[in-house]
Amino acid sequence: MVPLELISKISVENKAKIVYLVIDGLGGLPSKEGKTELESAFKPNLDELASESICGLSIPVSFGITPGSGPGHLSLFGYDPLKYEIGRGALSAAGIGFHQGENDLAARINFATLDSTGRITDRRAGRIPTSKAAQLCRLIEENLKLKEAKVFIRAEKEHRGVVIFRGKGLSDRLTDSDPQVAGISPLVVKAKEKKAQPAAKMVNEFLSKVKKILKAELPANMILMRGFAKVPSLPQMGDIFKLNAAAIAVYPMYKGIARLLGMEIIEAGENIADEFNALKKNFSKFNFFFVHIKGTDSAGEDGDFERKVKVIEQLDANLSKLRQLNPEVIVVASDHSTPAALKLHSWHPSPFMLRSRWCRRDEVKNFSEKECLRGGLGLFPAIDIMPLALANALKLKKLGA
Amino acid sequence: MVPLELISKISVENKAKIVYLVIDGLGGLPSKEGKTELESAFKPNLDELASESICGLSIPVSFGITPGSGPGHLSLFGYDPLKYEIGRGALSAAGIGFHQGENDLAARINFATLDSTGRITDRRAGRIPTSKAAQLCRLIEENLKLKEAKVFIRAEKEHRGVVIFRGKGLSDRLTDSDPQVAGISPLVVKAKEKKAQPAAKMVNEFLSKVKKILKAELPANMILMRGFAKVPSLPQMGDIFKLNAAAIAVYPMYKGIARLLGMEIIEAGENIADEFNALKKNFSKFNFFFVHIKGTDSAGEDGDFERKVKVIEQLDANLSKLRQLNPEVIVVASDHSTPAALKLHSWHPSPFMLRSRWCRRDEVKNFSEKECLRGGLGLFPAIDIMPLALANALKLKKLGA
C-alpha cells in the first residue's frame, strides 16, 4: 500500500475513463454441488471480459477480517480503512440520503421499550415496522424544540433511525446512551472531552424530551442513541486522484459513501439496466464511474443462493452496454464476499478483474474464485486496486526520477 | 496485519473450538532425491486433511528473516514479533519451566573460562556437560546471598543457564556482562537509565561473589550474563481473542511461551501419542488448543533428514485422534522451517492448512511445500493465521457498519 499523500503527488489528469463496477458481496462459498454462486451462474460476458483482463482475488482489509460496507468501500477506493473512518452516525445519515453538513452531528438511533421503572426491556421495540418508526419520528420532530440546534429525525428500517442535530460547535466526542444490553436504564450521554460538554448537555436534554413525547407509544416508548459522528473529512477523489468522479448506485448508503469521497451522484434508477443506461447517458461528463450492484449482497445476506446466481446472470446480460462504451479501464470488483451459505458478509477474498490495453492479461478464461486465484494478481490487497486502475489509465507518473 | 487492539474490539466468545497443531520446523529443503522431508513422508492423513482445507505457505516474520522460537511463536499467535518481545532472559526462564513473577529479573548465563589476568579464554567453558553446570549452579546458590534479592540459578543445556533475581523494583534496563568475544575481561554491567542503577550495582556485586565461588572450578571459573529481562507484559489471549486457551507441549520452552500469552498448561506426557491423548482428555474444557510437536525441529537441527521424515509419519499416524474430536477449526502450521540440509532454523515459508466448514477449500490434495504454494492462501504472513482461524470459528464480528 502506498499512502494517499504519495498517490496525490504522482497522479495526473487525463481523458482516459475508468469504470469501477462493484458487485457487492460477490464472492461466495460452494453449495452442496461444489460450486460457488459465481461458478454456478451462466455469465458468458463476464468470462469473455476475464479472458481480456488481468484477474485476481482481492483481500478487502486483511486476512480473516470481515468488513462492513464503510470499510469495504473505503478500501476499494484506495483509502486505508484502518486509518480513515466513517462514524456510525455519519454512515447512517449517508444511508438515508441525508446530506450531512459540517455543522451536523449525527447519531444512529433504535426505538426501544422501557418498563415502568425506566429499564430497557427490548432494545428493538419489538422490531416495529418502518412505517411506524417514520410516524414516531415525525411526532418527535413536530413536538420537540432545542435552542442549541435544529433536529432532524428519520426512520431507517424497522426500529432503526438517525438523528441529526444542526447547530454550531457540536462535538461528536460523546458516549452512547445505548447500553447494548437490556435490563438496565439507558445511559446518560457523557462528554469524552471538555469541549464536548455542551453537546452532551444538549443530547441529554433531547433524550428527556423524547421520553416525554413517546410516553404513551409502547412498545416504542424510548430511543437509544449510539455512534455520534460529525461528517468525516476524507481526502477528496478529485484532489488525490485528479478524477472527475461520479457514482451510480440504487441504495442510499452507497450514494452517501460516494458523496463523502467527493463523487457526483448520478440518478441511477431502480435496477441494473437503469444503472447501465445512466452510465451511457453520462459517459461523456466524467472520467471515473463507480457503478454499484446491490442485489448480490442482499441475496447473499438472505441466504438465497439461487437469487444471487440470478443477479449475477442479470448483470452479465447487461454487460454489453458497458463494453460498447469501451472505457480505457474496466474494473470488476467487490467490497467483500457474502456467501449465501453464511448469510453474512465474510472475510473471503473477492474475485477481481481489470481490463485495459496495458493490463498484461493472464490466462484466466473464467471469472470465478478458483480461477482468479491463478490470475496475474493472485491474492492481493483491495486497497491496491485504485493505484492499479489509475496506472492502467496512465494517470500515475513514475515515482522518483 | 491488523493490530491486536482492533482484533480485541471485534472478537467475540463462542463455543467453537480451534485446534492449532504446530509442527515445529516443519518446512524443509529437498535432499539429493529431490524431495523435502514432508514430500518424502508417508502421510495419508495429512494429505486427506489438506484436501478438505485451504492451504498456503506462511512467512514467519518477513522474507528472508529466520525467527527464533520466541518470534516464530508470537507470530503464529497473532503477536507482531517486531513489536512484542520476550527478552532473552525471560525466554530462558520460560524455557526451563521457571514461573517468572513480576518481581523477577532474569538473565541468560554462560559458564566461561577466565585466564589468570581475568580475560576470557573460552566463552563456553569447553562446553561443560549439563550435569556439571547443574552442580556449579547449586554451588553458587548455596554459597551466595544478596540482601537485595533472592537468587535462583539453574542449568539449561551444557554451559548455558539462567539466573533469576527475586526482589522489589529491579529494572531490566541493564547492559550485558558478556562481551560476546574472547580475549577481554567480562564487562561491568551498567544501567541504561537512572532507575536501573540499584539493579546494576546488585548484579555487579553478584558477579564478583560468583567469581570467588567459582575460583577453583576451571574451566568453568566464571559466568557471563546477557539479556536481562523482566517478565514481558504481553496482551493475554483471553482478553484479546476471548479464548479459553490451553497448551499441550512436551518441551518447557513452549509451555513457557504459552503461559506468557495466558494459556493454561495441560500435562502433555512425553510423546506425540501422549499429546493427542491429553487433547482428547481436556477437549471439553477449553475452546483453543495449541498442540506443539517438537521432534521435527530437533531432527532438522541435527541434520537428520530420515528422522524428521519419521516424526512426520508418526504424527500422521496419530492424526485420526484429532479428526475424531472434529473441532470447528483445525490449523496445521509451523513457527519456521528447519531443513535438515541446513541443520538450522531457516527463513523458508512453512506449509500451512486450515480446515473449517467455511474455509473455501482449494484444490490442494497433498500437504507439501510445493502444493501449498498453489493453495487458496498462496504465500501469506504467519501473523494473519490467528485472525483467519478466529474468522473461520465465527469469532470475529465485522469491522465497521
pLDDT of B401 strictly over 80: no
| pLDDT bracket for residue B97 (50, 70, 90) | confident
A398 domain-assigned: no
Within this chain, do residues B101 and B183 fall inside the same structural domain, yes or no? yes
- Taking residue A247's Cβ as centre, other Cβ atoms within 10 Å add up to 24
Length of chain B: 401
Q: How many domains does chain B have?
A: 2
Please report the pLDDT score of residue A1 as a whole number.
86
The pTM of this model reads 0.91
| Residue A401 counted as domain residue | no
Question: Does one domain contain both B63 and B17?
Answer: yes
B377 chain-A contacts, CB cut-off 8 A? 63, 379
Q: Tell me the nearest-neighbour CA distance from B393 into chain A, angstroms.
A: 10
Which residues in chain B are closer than 8 Å to A348, comparing Cβ atoms? 360
pLDDT above 90: residue A314: yes
- Nearest CA to A249 out of A236, A234, A239, A264 is that of A264
Domain boundaries, position A311:
4-85+234-392
Task: Summarize pLDDT for B297-333 with one digit per residue, the tens.
Answer: 999 999 999 999 999 999 999 999 999 999 999 999 9
Domain assignment of residue A271, yes or no: yes
Cβ-Cβ contacts under 8 Å between A and B: the total is 85
Give me the pLDDT at residue A157, please.
86
Q: What is the mean pLDDT of chain A?
A: 96
Last residue of some domain: A229, A263, A282?
A229
Q: What is the CATH number of the domain that holds A371?
A: 3.40.720.10
Could you count the other beta carbons within 10 Å of the beta carbon of residue A234?
18
- B400 in a structural domain: no
Cα A153 to Cα A266: distance, rounded to the nearest angstrom: 26
Residue B363: list chain A partners with CB under 8 A: 370
Q: Is B336's pLDDT higher than 90? A: yes
- Helix, strand, coil shares of chain A, percent, nearest 5, are 35, 20, 45
In this predicted structure, the answer to whether residue A344 has a pLDDT above a threshold of 90 is: yes
pLDDT in tens, A267-278: 999 999 999 999
| Angle in degrees, 0-180, between the axes of helices A252-260 and A88-95, rounded to the nearest 10 | 120
Domain boundary among the residues B229, B260, B277 is at B229
The CA distance from A162 to A93, in Å, is 6
Position A324 in a domain: yes
Average pLDDT over residues B216-233: 95
Task: With beta carbons less than 8 A apart as the criterion, state whether B7 and B78 touch.
Answer: yes
Taking only the tens place, the pLDDT of each residue in A139-150 is 999 999 999 999
Query: Which residues in chain A touch residue B378, judged by CB atoms under 8 angstroms apart?
Result: 373, 378-379
Same domain, B373 and B270: yes
Q: What is the pLDDT of residues B245-262, one digit of tens each?
A: 999 999 888 999 999 999
Q: Which residues of B touch A341 (CB under 8 A)?
A: 358
Looking at the domain assignment, is residue B121 inside a domain?
yes
C-alpha cell at B323: 479428526
Q: What is the number of other CB atoms lying within 10 angstroms of the CB of residue B98? A: 18
For residue B397, the chain A residue with the least C-alpha distance is A66
- The DSSP output letter for A11 is B
Helices (H) and strands (E) in chain B, counts: 14, 13
pLDDT at A262: 94
pLDDT tens figures, A52-97: 999 999 999 999 999 999 999 999 999 999 999 998 899 889 888 8
Grid cell listed for B238: 483471553
Instruction: Check whether B126 has a pLDDT greater than 80.
Output: yes
* ipTM of the shown complex: 0.90
Tell me whether residues A63 and B376 touch, CB distance under 8 A.
no
DSSP letter at B399 equals: B
For B258-284, what is the mean pLDDT? 95
Percent of chain A residues topping a pLDDT of 70? 100
Q: Are residues B97 and B63 in the same domain?
A: no
Identify whether residues B46 and B149 lie together within a single domain.
no
Dump pLDDT digits (tens) for A226-256.
999 999 989 999 999 999 999 999 988 899 9
CA gap B217, B197 in Å, rounded: 30
**A63–B387 CB contact, under 8 Å:** yes
Q: In the prediction, which pLDDT does B17 show?
A: 98
Nearest CA in chain B to A91: B401
Q: H or E element: which one contains A228?
A: strand A222-230
Are A247 and A386 part of one and the same domain?
A: yes
Residues of chain B found within 8 Å of residue A347, distances taken between Cβ atoms: 387-388, 391, 396
Q: Is residue B321, in this structure, part of any structural domain at all?
A: yes
User: Residue range B6-28: average pLDDT?
Assistant: 97
Whether residues A66 and B391 touch (CB distance < 8 A) is answered with yes
Report CB contact under 8 Å: A63, B401. no
pLDDT of residue A401: 82
Closest-CA residue of chain A to B399: A67
Q: Where are the alpha helices (DSSP H) in A231-381?
A: 237-241, 252-260, 272-281, 295-301, 305-325, 369-373
Same domain flag for B315 and B203: no
Q: Which of A188, A207, A229 is the last residue of a domain?
A: A229
The shortest CB-CB distance from A65 to any of B2, B361, B376 is to B2
Q: Which residue of A has its CA nearest to B382?
A: A63
Residue B217 — pLDDT band, cuts 50, 70, 90?
very high
Number of residues that make up chain A: 401
How confident is the prediction for chain B on average, in pLDDT?
A: 96
Q: Mean pLDDT, to the nearest integer, of A40-47?
A: 98
Same domain, yes or no, for B209 and B284? no
B211 pLDDT more than 80: yes
| Residues belonging to chain A with any Cβ–Cβ distance to chain B shorter than 8 Å | 29-30, 61-71, 81-82, 85-86, 88, 91-92, 227, 339, 341-342, 344-348, 369-370, 373, 378-379
Using an 8 Å CB-CB cutoff, list residues of chain B that contact chain A.
Answer: 1-3, 6, 10, 358, 360-363, 376-378, 380-381, 384-392, 396-401
Q: Do residue B218 and residue B241 come from a single domain?
A: no
Same domain, A255 and A376: yes
- Tell me the mean pLDDT in the region B14-27: 98
Name which residue leads in pLDDT, A251 or B369: B369
From the list A30, A65, A70, which residue is nearest B401 (CB)?
A: A70
Residue among B1, B3, B376 whose CB faces A373 most closely: B376
Q: Which of B380, B399, B401 sits opposite A63 (nearest CB)?
A: B380
Say what the pLDDT of residue B95 is.
84
Taking the CA atoms of A236, A238, A241 and A247 in sequence, report the sign of the dihedral they define: positive
| Closest residue in B to A347 (Cα–Cα) | B391
| Residue A17, min C-alpha distance to chain B (Å) | 31
Alpha-carbon gap: B360 to the closest alpha carbon of chain A (Å): 6
User: What is the full DSSP assignment across A71-136?
Assistant: HHHHHHTT--TTT----HHHHHHHHTT----TTEEEEEEEEEEE-TTS-EEETTGGG--HHHHHHH
Q: Is residue B398 part of a domain?
A: no
**Do residues B13 and B146 share a domain?**
no
Query: CA nearest B389 in A: which residue?
Result: A64
Judging contacts by C-beta atoms under 8 Å, the chain B residues touching residue A69 are 400-401
pLDDT band at B4 (very low <50, low <70, confident <90, very high): very high
Per-residue pLDDT of A110-165, as tens digits, reads 999 999 999 999 999 999 999 999 999 999 999 999 999 999 999 988 899 999 99
Q: Look at A29 and B360 and tell me if their CB atoms are within 8 Å.
A: yes
Chain A residues touching B400 at Cβ < 8 A: 67-71, 81, 85-86, 91
What's residue A332's pLDDT?
98
Name the residue facing B399 among A68, A378, A379 (closest C-beta).
A68
**Of A81, A85, A369, which has the smallest distance from its Cβ to B360's Cβ?**
A369
Please indicate, yes or no, whether residues B341 and B293 belong to a single structural domain of this protein.
yes
Write the Ramachandran bin of B394: left for phi over 0, alpha for psi from -120 to 50, otherwise beta.
left
CA distance B309 to chain A (A): 31
Q: What is the pLDDT of residue B252?
A: 86
- In the structure, how many helices (H) and strands (E) does chain A have? 14, 13
Instruction: Indicate the SS3 state at residue B87.
Output: coil
